[in-house]
Chains A and B, each alone.
Chain A
Amino acid sequence: MSEYVVAGCGIIGLYTTFHLLDRGIDPKKITVLAQHFPGDESINYASPYAGGDFSCITDDDPKTLFYDQYTYTNLKKIQKALGGPACGLDRYTSTEYWDIKPSKEKIDSLASYLDEYKVISPAKYPKGVQYGIQFKSWNFNCPYFLLNLKVYLENNGVKFEKTILTHITQAFISSHTKIIFNCTGLGSHSLGGVNDSNVYPTRGQVVVVKAPHITENVMRWGDDYATYIIKRPYSNDQLILGGYMQKDNWTADTFKDETEDIISRTTKLFPKIIDKNPNGDKLEILRVVAGLRPSRHGGVRIEKEVVGHNKFVVHNYGASGYGYQAGFGMAYDAVRLALINDTKF
């Protein structure tokens, strides 16, 4: 009876719910409360607009490296549960370049678990690149994957209720509710009882094009820019081109000059987009969209807070642009915290 409530139905909330089931929690004891569900669109609902794939976007602090590794290695479990790659989770080769060579910790970590990992020889680097690797990634058809994940959880008995929370304690919907998982992402900035002023959006814009001839990912991380090409699985040949990392930019508007800049950068990074395009140099743009990555100064916040007598909130937000690739590891940590027993042996 709603012993566990997950607030927020983005990728973080869904990963958290999946992990609760993984830990053996009875799905009937779980309720997900959210303003937006998969299928909805809103600038306040970041998850559908993500790239998305597993990338080297993340920092090299130990926790984040762990979250990445955990997610990467355990996604196959989710894929299997959802019936295979057709759920919108498939694997393609990724080539990633850095203008500034990443730290040893980051490199060592990636090398230790990425499949089909290899370092690209410097002779092949684009001009200005200091380091490049190739590996087998995970690709998400984000809106579709979210929906399938929700359906899976629902079929297993998890309840989903559409709610707008103005204060986190409103999520204690039943006298039996003991733990709330706060997976509200950007919402934690202004949600009563949380009011995390460290939360801020990092705006991105992407251009979705038709590209049946591209079946891989290419990325380049610059000092103040990110250029990426991400194949969207089971999407009728959609390819995601991006992007931008605009801190503290709250606008949902999209801009023509940004679109042009994205196409310019991505086709320069990966000329095959145009060279092998069945339509010649006419690239069919299906959609242009902006999303607000739920970032946080100090990184993700995963901690347990006492808010009332036998009432706890486990915060799990701030995943910025790596919710899909690190979120399952974050869920592991959040659920671990939630389930720790008070008593110490």
Chain B
Amino acid sequence: MAECGRVDSNTSSHTMDKSITLPPDEIFRNMENAKRFAIDIGGSLTKLAYYSTVQHKVAKVRSFDHSTKEAAGDKLYEIAVQEEVTARLHFIKFENAYIETCLDFIKDHLVNTETKVIKATGGGAHKFKELIERKLGLKVDKEDEMTCLIKGCNFVLKNIPHEAFVYAKHADSEFRFQTTNPDIFPYLLVNIGSGVSIVKVESEDKFERIGGSSIGGGTFWGLGALLTKTKRFDELLQLASKGQHSSVDMLVKDIYGGSYACLGLTGDLIASSFGKSATADKEFSDEDMAKSLLHMISNDIGQLACLYAKLHNLSRVYFGGFFIRGHPVTMHTITYSINFFTKGEVQALFLRHEGYLGAIGAFLKGAEEDNPNQYSWGENYAGSSGLMSVSPDMNPMQRARSGTFPFDMLEMDRLDRQLVNLPLLQDPSSYIPDTVDLTEDAQAREYWLSCFEEALDGVVKRAVASQPDIPEAAERAEKFRQKYLHKLQTLRHQPFAYGSLTVRSLLDTREHCLNEFNFPDPYSKIKERENDIALKYYEKAVKSLEELSWEDRQFALVRGVLAGNVFDWGAKAVSEVLESNPEFGFEEAKRRLEDRPWLVDSFDQWLERLKGPPHRCALFFVDNSGVDIILGVMPFVRELLSRGTEVVLASNSGPALNDVTNSELQILTERIAAMDPVIDSALREDRLTLVQNGSSSPCLDLSRLDKVLAMLVRERQTDLVIIEGMGRAIHTNYYAMLSCESLKMAVIKNSWLADRLGGKLFSVVFKYEVPAGAGKPH
């Protein structure tokens, strides 16, 4: 059974406070455009879901008409900040006690009148049916609980990276997030509500309840309330965490005096739960009994789950339900039980958004005509609260005193593009984009959190400067600062809040927060200026390269890419130089580069390779605009084209720092084509193709790339992947294994990271790899 039908009288201990005012900026956001509601009412928590559209400022790059180029003066292109409407899913979780307050708020803010129905699920849905219908004037349409749960589960597993995790109480980091496996089926979902349901899920629409047990959360709660003076579920768990079960349980050593060695049963193993309470003539403490009860129930559920997993030959077992929901105590005991019964063969998996599954599923049921499963969705870090935002241990009285009531949110943005794996990953299921997991590496975490905190002033300044004509920009920028600072503080205490903490996630969170406050592209002006300057030097740069001997040229081209990559506003060391010395030039950058041998140096192998036959097609993930793309990357691309290699240039779909976006790159390439017949003919003959990568991040997740890019890669029989820049080739993908040749090029522009890798500032990583087993190409 999924959810306990109703909560007992303890709801009265925190009856609704009508004086509570809801902060509209924070909860039920974008209610004006909301449509398609769904609600999941459980034993104690309500989860509300709605679909809304968000008006966003986006920077659109527009080329000037070439025929009237003269008239446009010096300007390269025009950047217009436009309003764009994007789709967003909102999910809010709050205690049932506040349901009326929330419904009133929704009624007051709901403008959309097309909405007629609200999808509802969960054990409490019937109890509040009348209230919802009266308050909102929407018809409550009930959906099957289990169906919703499974639908929701499929959705989060598919769309949210790091959704599932393994819990390890005594490890360095308690949460070990799982990489997203493109193939999520089949799996077992063990839902521990008042009872237990064990469901085997084989595909999007095919699932089966293969078993269950009546010993579940309700048994813990019910027996706990009978045995102890504690009557609330959360408090019973707290009680249990303080107890010693060995005073109540009969252990193997109580019977054997030690272990039962020939069966491999250790002395501490529980032989009989509550076995001592039958014989000992003594009183047992509430804590000890609660602990014994918790072990008894967790072990029993774990054992059954293992038996079912074995019978159906399933190795992925997810646990959910109110017994698990955010409670480290039960995650620990369930994990322990699974490890014991399967001897480590099966891992107990938990979900970050487990509490939302029913609401997500109910929502999806109602939104089927919008085909939400056709799109890719992304977790919005700015609008989501993160794991354990509301501590389940917090006392309700404490909560009441905090002013508003506690709630937890999840927001997901519909992505314009469908995202898929790069077909050239050696093993998609074991691919991890990020090089360092800051959740596990405390030292690195501390450094990067401070680093991002220190850089915040600069980002705020940049954001304000990017909108000089808008007077309230400063105020918005300040809000952005507060928001991001708050995120950083949260992550300091709960590094696991959004899955594995990585440099990438810190960067992405910053981008999400900037977008949230309508700073879609703070670097647009800088990028434009730098592109403009760099273009002026293009012909000269190409000419001087052509004068070199073949071998010298190959080296100069690589140095060019590396020197270009020094121009990076995202890197602290460089942004300071660029800020103070606008004249900082390409030649200066080359001088700063480390001399060979580089920190990682396989240039000789690369050169050898170039002496062989040309590659069929190279996929180049580019980095910064300006000097980097124009004077570094383009000449390199030009050489590849001249060798007879087709080139696919992959750039960001949306802005991030000073990274070149696809729309900018279109214009830049046209301009270069006008100067350079090699580029021009390649463009026209389709040997040079520009694609977007589907992301707006300074880093690169090769498991979430634009579907069009993936198709192109396959069609062109791509046999070389080039990844450039610190964000894409060092923070991420440094260890990525590809099934074809790959080249990772970056300059380390961060002294701490340089230290870590054993180099120094401006050390060079030039990593050319040929997959093991591949024969020498010539």
Decide if A and B are genuine partners.
no
Residues in chain B within 8 A of chain A (CB atoms): none
Residues in chain A within 8 A of chain B (CB atoms): none
